């Protein structure tokens, strides 16, 4: 099987998966929460149209100047967005039993439970997105698409680190950027913005642990940054 055949097979599998999920109906025990059962066909068609419009906007922003390539990239993005949406809507947080977070000992929040539910989505969905994009686009263009998925959180967060650690070294920047790019790729498989933010928080924690392990004091740096912001606001108010 050639590389093109493999990518085509993966994309076909996603379409079959999405169609099968719709035919089978909502996740057992959660019929009232599923978009596929709770909303009429017209509403679902509207949601599909919104995804189509979003994907078209993202692809247009790449300025590929190749209609056929634009159509293929859009198809890949739409397939992924639909699969993520359908999995999320058919697997609400109630599909994950309540319990304690083993890392903190505290009860799992509804967000924790939804993250667990969405994190169980077949890896095939993510693999199809990445292989489909890389088949058509340069790595820089692939990163641009991932940035659109995550509303530019990599650049925004890195800018925040520079504000808190003004003398951030190139080595530190590269390490933190690596963490943030990992967060970005993982976050594209989550539907809601609070979930995307939660994924980034995981990798921000790793970044801060890295700084602490390499001679920085993150808590002190952050405290100094907050104090400087407050002092600046106070001065401007006089």
**Segment holding 234, helix H or strand E:** helix 218-237
Domain boundaries, the chain: 1-137, 150-238
Across 193-221, average pLDDT: 97
Tokens encoding 22: 């719709």
Q: What is the pLDDT of residue 103?
A: 87
For residues 12 and 227, give the distance between their C-alpha atoms in angstroms, rounded to a whole number.
54
Q: What value does the mean pLDDT of the chain take?
A: 87
pTM of the predicted model as reported, rounded to 2 decimal places: 0.80
Confidence of residue 41 (pLDDT cuts 50, 70, 90): confident
136 within 8 A of 109, measured Cβ to Cβ: no
Q: What is the dihedral of CA 8, 14, 19, 23, to 10 degrees?
A: 140
In terms of C-beta density within 10 A (0-12 exposed, 13-18 middle, 19 or more buried), how is residue 114 classed?
buried
Other Cβ atoms closer than 10 A to 81: 21
For residues 71 and 50, give the distance between their C-alpha atoms in angstroms, rounded to a whole number.
16
How many residues belong to the chain? 238
Which has more pLDDT, 27 or 65? 65
Other Cβ atoms closer than 10 A to 79: 24
Three-class secondary structure of residue 100 per DSSP: strand
Query: What is the secondary structure of 137-201 as a DSSP string?
Result: S-HHHHHHHHHHHTTTHHHHHHHHHHHH-TT--HHHHHHHHHHHHHHHHHHTT--SHHHHHHHHH
Is the confidence at residue 119, as pLDDT, over 70? Answer: yes
Give the 3-state secondary structure percentages of the chain, helix then strand then coil, rounded to 5. Answer: 75, 0, 20
Across 57-77, average pLDDT: 97
Which has more pLDDT, 37 or 211? 211
Q: What is the pLDDT of residue 100?
A: 95
Is the confidence at residue 24, as pLDDT, over 80? Answer: no
Residue with tokens 């419009």: 53
* Whole-number percent of the chain with pLDDT over 70: 83
For residues 101 and 104, give the distance between their C-alpha atoms in angstroms, rounded to a whole number.
6
Is the confidence at residue 19, as pLDDT, over 70? Answer: no
**Segment holding 8, helix H or strand E:** helix 3-24
């Amino acid at each position: 099987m050639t590389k093109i055949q493999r990518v085509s097979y993966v994309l076909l599998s996603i379409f079959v998966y999405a169609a099968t999920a719709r035919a089978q109906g909502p996740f057992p025990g959660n019929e009232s929460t599923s978009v596929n059962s709770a909303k009429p066909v017209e509403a679902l068609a509207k949601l599909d149209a919104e995804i189509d419009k979003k994907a078209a906007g993202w692809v247009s922003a790449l300025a590929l100047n190749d209609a056929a390539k634009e159509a293929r990239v859009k198809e890949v993005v739409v397939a992924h967005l639909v699969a993520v949406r359908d999995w999320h809507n058919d697997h609400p947080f109630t599909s994950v039993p309540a319990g304690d977070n083993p890392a903190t000992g505290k009860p799992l929040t509804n967000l924790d439970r939804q993250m667990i539910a969405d994190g169980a989505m077949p890896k095939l969905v993510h693999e199809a997105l990445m292989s489909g994009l890389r088949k058509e686009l340069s790595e820089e263009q692939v990163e641009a698409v991932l940035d659109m998925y995550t509303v530019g959180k990599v650049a925004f967060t890195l800018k925040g680190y520079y504000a808190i650690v003004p003398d951030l070294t190139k080595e530190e920047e590269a390490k933190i950027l690596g963490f943030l790019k990992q967060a970005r790729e993982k976050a594209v498989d989550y539907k809601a913005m609070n979930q995307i933010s939660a994924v980034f928080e995981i990798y921000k924690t790793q970044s801060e642990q890295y700084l602490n392990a390499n001679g920085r004091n993150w808590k002190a740096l952050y405290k100094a940054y907050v104090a400087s912001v407050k002092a600046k606001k106070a001065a401007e108010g006089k």
